[in-house]
Amino acid sequence: MSDRKSIIWAAAVGVGLLVGCGQGKQSSGAPGQTAASSGQEVAQQATPIDPATVGALKGITFFQGEPPARKEVRMQGNPECSALHHEPVLDEEILVQDGRLQNVFVYVKEGLESYVFATPTTPVTIDQQGCMYIPHVAGAQVSQPLLFLNSDPTLHNIHSYVKQSRGWNFGLPFQGMKQTKQISAPEVMVSLKCDVHPWMVGYLGVLPHPYFTVSGPDGSFALPNLPAGTYTVEAWHERFGVQSQQVQVGAGEEQEITFTFQEASPG
């Protein structure tokens, strides 16, 4: 192991051990009692929603024009990662299939301010597999458990870049290690990075409500069980920026919207 990697490894292990002795939960994949208790407290105060008064929102995220070519992830200088792959690995920044754009984070930005929602106790799992974050884009509610897993036989660390709450940077040195965290304030988006393998980047949208999703390989997305009302819906993509539009959803209605992204013109 090079001197640089030895230093990073030692630092990451130290941070991981310190955090493991504090607020983090290691080894067990189950959320801690604190997170569960918090979710139960919020659930008691949650705004009741009559199923007869809800509607739904669905749509597609499109890409207009010829999509940029995907770039190869250069792992050659990190044999512990390149050995995990038999073929070249392409980055996940731009995934377009038949003009439909994947990994767009779609969420209700405005219109739910008068509601209080229970905090889920089921964790959102983010895996480090093949020296990549899986999934690349995800969403969670405020204070929902975030379970980070290392499925690789090498050291990874998870460094969160947040602006609205306290961040963390901890190591998962060994295959199979887990640790649970949470984010205490809404933010779109939080970046997740690995300092050991700098190409490893993931994104997490954190909201005070459950009305968010990520577009699939066919560009489709859906927000079911949305209380009737008028909303500002925003769509975020890591390279192509954000778009928003207003939509009115009535009880028993299923509204359809689309977002179309394109590459910005040079200059």
* Per-residue tokens: 35: 């997170």
Name residue 199's amino acid.
W
Domains observed in the chain: 3-261 (2.60.40.420)
- The answer to whether the bond into 132 is cis (omega within 30° of 0) is no
The string of pLDDT tens digits covering residues 85-122 is: 999 999 999 999 999 999 999 999 999 999 999 999 99
Residue 65 backbone zone (phi > 0: left; psi -120 to 50: alpha; other: beta) = left
Segment 159-168 shows an average pLDDT of 94
Three-state secondary-structure class, residue 265:
coil
Are 181 and 148 a contacting pair, CB within 8 Å? yes
In this prediction the pTM is: 0.83
